[in-house]
Amino acid sequence: MSGEITTRHLDIGCGSTPRNPYQRTEAHGVDIAPASAASEFFRVANLSLAPIPHPDSSFDSISAFDFLEHVPRVLPTPEGKSTRFPFIELMNEISRVLKPGGRFYAVTPAFPHPTAFHDPTHVNIITIGTWEYFCGDNALARMYGFTGQFDLLRNEWALHPEAFNAAPLQGWQAKWKRFRRTLRGTNSHVLWEFVCTKKA
């Protein structure tokens, strides 16, 4: 017995291969399409319509790379008499499945860069200010049914694909590259890093 503590990461909307930006000992994935090879760490689910298929407080971290923009903001309920908010529901699910103190890490194409709009399946346009709806005691999405608990660690324009690793940028060249792109408005993606503040 090695005595090593197992840490678990979940990559949502992961495609066939889950990423592991925090280098946890286990990398799990959820996607709408089946994995190319069978894996006990992979689950199939449409997260615009269904909960994350894991129990409460299962993961030390969760990531979403080029995924949040595909989650609808508003859909009709099945009977057509009301509306539901899938993006809000997904953020609730992320908080539910994270352990207290767990991290949520997302890299998403964002307005005003054209990449946010090019793909016709991009239905959820994120901006540099969207984080305010999900962080803190007075998160603005509470009026729409948001019940998650997050505090903000980072909200910034990100280098893509360098931001697929959760470690902060190292070296002056990378930082200068990001600064230049941010100044020119040519960074295409926003990076979120939230910490889950729910009680144990």
Question: pLDDT class for 36, splitting at 50, 70, 90?
Answer: confident
pLDDT of 1 strictly over 70: no
Q: Is residue 3 part of a domain?
A: no
CATH of the domain at 51: 3.40.50.150
Question: pLDDT class for 160, splitting at 50, 70, 90?
Answer: confident
Q: Is residue 2 part of a domain?
A: no
Q: Average pLDDT for residues 27-45, to the nearest whole number? A: 89
pTM beyond 0.85, yes or no: yes
Instruction: Name the average pLDDT for the chain.
Output: 94
Q: Is residue 62 part of a domain?
A: yes
The 3-class secondary structure across 11-30, one letter per residue, is EECCCCCCCCCCCCCEEEEE
Q: Is residue 25 part of a domain?
A: yes
Closest listed residue to residue 21, CA positions, set 146, 162, 143: 162
Q: Is residue 37 part of a domain?
A: yes
Q: What is the pLDDT of residue 32?
A: 96
Q: How far apart are CA 103 and CA 24, in angstroms?
A: 12
Closest listed residue to residue 8, CA positions, set 41, 51, 39: 41
Q: What is the pLDDT of residue 168?
A: 86
Q: Average pLDDT for residues 159-166, to the nearest whole number? A: 86
Q: Average pLDDT for residues 13-21, to the nearest whole number? A: 94
Q: Is residue 42 part of a domain?
A: yes
Q: Domains in the chain: how many in total?
A: 1
Residue ranges making up the domain that contains 188: 8-196
Q: What is the pLDDT of residue 51?
A: 98
Question: pLDDT class for 159, splitting at 50, 70, 90?
Answer: confident
Q: Is residue 90 part of a domain?
A: yes
Q: Average pLDDT for residues 1-22, to the nearest whole number? A: 90
pLDDT of 82 strictly over 50: yes
Q: Other CB atoms closer than 10 Å to residue 122's CB: what's the count?
A: 17
